Amino acid sequence: MSQIELPIEGMTCASCAMRVEKRLNKLDGVEASVNYATERASVSYAGEVEPETLLAAVEAAGYHATLPPKTDANESTADEPAPASETDALRQRLLVSAALSLPVLVLSMIPALQFDNWQWLAWNLTTPVVLWAGWPFHRAAWQVARHGSASMDTLISLGTLTAYVAAIVALFFGGAGEVGMTMSFDPVPSRASGFDEIYFEVAAVVTTFLLAGRFFEARAKRRAGAALEALLALGAKDVAVLGADGEERRVPVEELAVGDRFVVRPGEKIATDGVVESGRSAVDQALLTGESVPVEKAPGDPVTGATVNVGGRLVVTATKVGGDTALAQIAALVTRAQSGKAEVQRLADRVSAVIVPIVIVISLGTLAGWLLAGEGASFAFTAAVAVLIIACPCALGLATPTALLVGTGRGAQLGLLIKGPEVLESTRRIDTVVLDKTGTVTTGRMALVDVPLAAGEDRAQVLRLAGAVEEASEHPVARAIAGAAREAGALPPVEGFASHAGLGVQGVVDGHAVVVGRPRLLAEE
């Protein structure tokens, strides 16, 4: 079975995702899972199925899909910014809609502010809100209607357009357009009211609120994507490659190939996964293990890309590059976790897929029921529109996938890798947490706790001499010793400083030969 991730365009609700998923799963040899929050379809398909067939199935459902771009394995997407066009467009529509809807709402709800012909101003203010700001809803509703389907956008479009058209009818053909018309606020529609009242505030305010929900949804997805990009950005950007002649040349990390030899100096990130060829040093692997204590590396030891060399100079031979590295696999794990579905999300999707036509039928039944009961057309219409608007289950289809998306993305940003949405969902049953790494619950910064002394030695003097030598080292243990020494006062300069990778440091301070390190180094000196 082959695996492919298809970006899907045009989905606006969970029922859209269910529709695409059903269409793909009807193909022989295809298993698909469509996630509305990530706007992606994770598809497994047999060898005889062509990717173009998958695209055609998505198009037949009323949406658009594209094949993922073919990129070289060495290329990273960490520098690609998250698409902001959707968020920016929604923000613009929301701000304009809110600015125009507020005066319509105030005029409609407060009779004291209703001056002569105020209703005509309300019409002019509402028109751009419903037709321009609400255009994404109408366009999506029309696209699914062309394929004989309905979505949550269908409810939104029907409700807002019906209220808008009914208000125009009342304005031109009823009594609502007369000079001096006023409309009082009544939380319960009057059964005696006819087409002498307008509902522009309903169309405008509902459109504004739903645009706000769509905007916050898009912003949440964008931030979750930014968290994944931050994870990818942890890798090195360039690397010092050693040529056959031993000369170093600085190249982008994307140009690194398996078998290349590259240099990692103290303080630099290791460019990619590899094996130490020469040199000794300590490597900070907190990215992978959570442990703040660096691990000593010697020739023949494996090293991981994006970890930090905190000791001596290393020459490393690359064994994995691009998408094969540990960091890339971590990013892929997060992506798969965001694309998967928890059981609660599958339930929400199933409900969302059937609730739209049910709501439309109930709305029509409400309209017919009140008319048959002898109530006025205006009252019956108001009740029917209320069913369309209030029953729109946007939160039902949106809350679960967005929460999972943001949760996995934020976890990756904090160094917490979640293998899948079902794992995140199962955390509600956790009653005990066992940690096997001290770095998981510590600050990641070492601190000096005690200074055991030999007989006759002064603590302040020993700490002052050791701190002066360690001041020149980048090792986390050295930084802890030097930091504690600095708190007691200024440190003297060190002469003849030498660092022995994996063993310790030495130098001369105030005429004293000072050696700080492992017992092996002390024995040699």
Strand 64-65, strand 30-35: pairing: unpaired
Long-range contacts of 44-50 (CB under 8 A, 24+ apart): 44/1, 44/2, 44/3, 45/1, 45/2, 45/4, 46/1, 46/2, 47/2
413 near 264, Cβ under 8 Å?
no
**With contact defined as beta carbons under 8 Å apart, do 175 and 195 qualify?**
yes
SS3 149: coil
Considering 28, 436, 450, 458, which one is annotated as catalytic?
436
Between CA 252 and CA 366 the distance in angstroms is 66
What phi and psi, each to the nearest 5 degrees, are found at residue 209?
Answer: -65, -40
Amino acid at site 305: G
Phi-psi region at 517: left, alpha or beta (left = phi > 0; alpha = psi -120 to 50): left
- Told to judge if 436 belongs to the known catalytic residues of this protein, a careful annotator would answer yes
- Please report the DSSP string for 498-511 in residue order: EEETTTEEEEEETT
Tokens representing 433 are 């947490």
Is residue 263 within 8 Å of 248, Cβ to Cβ?
A: yes
Phi first, then psi, for residue 309 (nearest 5°) are -80, 115
| Overall residue count recorded for the chain in this entry | 525
Q: Are the CB atoms for 316 and 269 separated by under 8 Å?
A: no
Provide the CB-side half-sphere exposure for 455 (13 A, CA): 0
Strands 308-309 and 295-297: unpaired
Q: Annotated active-site positions, please?
A: 436
